[in-house]
Amino acid sequence: MRNLVISGMALIAATYGLARFGFGFFLPRFTEAFDLSPSLSGAIQAGSFLSYCVTAAAAARLGACPRLVVACAGATAALGAAGVAAAPNAGILAAGVVIAGGGAGFATPGLVRLIERNIAAARQESAQTVVNAGTGAGIVAAGVLLILTAGQWRLGWAGIAVLSALSAAAVLRSDRSSPGPAEGESGTADPPRLRFGRLAALAKPLGKPLAAALLAGASSAAVWTFGRTVIAGAGSGTQMHSVTAWMVLGAFGVLGAFAGKLVQAASVRTAWTGTVLAMAAATFLLGVAPGTPVAAFAAAALFGGGYTAMSGVLIVWAVRAVPDQASAGTVVLFIALAIGQAAGSAVLGALFREDSPTPAFTAAAVVGILAVLPAVWSRQKTPRRLYAG
C-alpha cells in the first residue's frame, strides 16, 4: 500500500531525522543558549539514545498492538519536541531531548509489523528499507525548518512536535489490515506480547549482527552528535554552509531506500561491509578536513548514504536471521545500535575538542572499521528468501 509506505517514511523522518537526530543539528544553537560543554552535550545525546532502547523494548512488549505502538511513537516524539521548544534551562532541554528520542524506539517496531500485515511478502523487504530511508528525509526537513524559522530554534522544535503527531495519525489512517498475515504471506497472526527474556533469547541467533550493530552505532555517534558543530566551527563560511552540508547528508540518506536491492544483488555480508566502511571513511574525512568545503560535503554525502543504507541492511539481516520473529529481531538489533550510539556519544563527548576534532573522529572511524569484522568472520549463510513459508 503506497499510502502506508509514504506515511511510514514520514513517521521515520519525524521521529528519527528530526526528534532523535535533531539535537546534533541544533547543537550550535543549544550551546549558545545554554552554554553546553562537549561532555554535557554528549551525555544528553547518550540519554536520547538510551531512551530509544527503553521504548523499543516496550514496543516489543506491545507487539500484538502495532497501532498503539505507532500512536506512542507520535505522542512521545511530539511531547519531547514540545518540551525542547519551551525549555527555559539546560535541565528541561535535556529532558525534552531524551523524551523525544524515545519516539523512534516505538516507530520502527510498529511500522515493521504494520508493513507485515498490509503488504505482500514479496514486496516487504523493499517496503521496509524505503520506509527506513525516511531518516534522510527528516534530516533535510531539519535544515528546511532552520531556514524557515530564521534561526529561531524554538519554532523549529514546535514544528517537529506537530510533524510527529501528524505523521503518526497518517500511518494509522493508512492501515487497512486486520490482525493476521498479509496478502501472499504464509506467516502467522500477530505475535504475542514479547517478554524481555524472550528478547534476550534472540541474542544467540543474532550474536554477530548484535556485535556489528553495537560497534557501528558507537562509530556513528561522532557525526550525529558533533558533525554540524565541527563544520560550523571550522571557519569555512557562513552558518548556511553547515546547514547545507547537513541537508546533503539527509538527501543522500534517502539513498538508503535501495538497501534492500543492494542486499538482493550481493549479500548481507557484502552490503554491511560496504555501507559501514563508507560511514567510517566519511567520519575520518570530516574529522580531518571540516573546513574544506569539498571534503565536508563529500563526507556528509557519504555518511548519509552509508548510515541509512546500513540501518536498512540491519533490518534485512534481522529478518533473514530470525524470519519467524522479524519484528523482535529488528528491535534487538536497533537497541544494540542505540546502545552503541549512547556509549559513543558519552566517550566522544569527553574526547571531543571543537578546535581539534581529528582525534575523536579518527577514533570513531577506527571503531567503524572494527564493526565490519563480525560480518566478515560470519560463516553462517542467511537464506536469500525473506520470510519462511
* Statement: residue 367 has pLDDT above 90: yes
Mean pLDDT of 66-95: 96
pLDDT tens-digit map of 273-282 = 999 999 999 9
Q: Please answer whether residues 108 and 199 qualify as being in contact, where contact means their C-beta atoms are separated by less than 8 angstroms.
A: no
Q: Please answer whether residues 361 and 192 qualify as being in contact, where contact means their C-beta atoms are separated by less than 8 angstroms.
A: no
* Statement: residue 262 has pLDDT above 60: yes
Q: Please answer whether residues 168 and 70 qualify as being in contact, where contact means their C-beta atoms are separated by less than 8 angstroms.
A: yes
* pLDDT number for residue 382: 44
Mean pLDDT of 335-351: 93
Q: Which residue has the higher pLDDT, 384 or 43?
A: 43
Through-space distance between the first and last CA atoms of the chain, rounded to whole angstroms: 22
pTM of the shown model: 0.81
pLDDT tens-digit map of 106-160 = 998 899 889 888 888 878 877 877 887 888 889 898 888 888 887 789 999 999 9
b (16+ CB within 10 A) / e for 49-83:
bbbbbebbbbbbbbbebbbebbbbbbebbbbbbbb
* pLDDT number for residue 368: 96
d(CA 329, CA 59): 12
From 37-41, 185-189, 298-302, the region with the lowest mean pLDDT: 185-189
Number of other CB atoms surrounding residue 303 within 10 Å: 27
Closest CA to 360 of 263, 254, 286: 286
Alpha helices in the chain, H assignment, sequence order: 2-12, 22-34, 38-61, 66-86, 90-118, 121-132, 134-148, 153-174, 196-201, 207-232, 239-253, 259-265, 268-288, 293-321, 326-351, 358-370, 373-377
Mean pLDDT of 200-216: 88
* Statement: residue 321 has pLDDT above 90: no
* Statement: residue 364 has pLDDT above 50: yes
Question: What's the pLDDT band for 323 if we cut at 50, 70, 90?
Answer: confident
d(CA 389, CA 378): 25
Compute the chain's Rg from CA coordinates.
19
Per mean pLDDT, which of 21-35, 91-105, 307-321 is the most reliable? Answer: 91-105
Number of other CB atoms surrounding residue 92 within 10 Å: 14
* pLDDT number for residue 219: 97
Q: What is the DSSP letter of 192?
A: P
d(CA 362, CA 26): 23
- Residue 258, all three cell numbers: 535501495
* pLDDT number for residue 238: 58
Mean pLDDT of 28-52: 93
At how many degrees (to 10) do helices 293-321 and 326-351 cross?
A: 150
* pLDDT number for residue 290: 87
From 27-41, 161-175, 196-210, 215-229, the region with the lowest mean pLDDT: 196-210
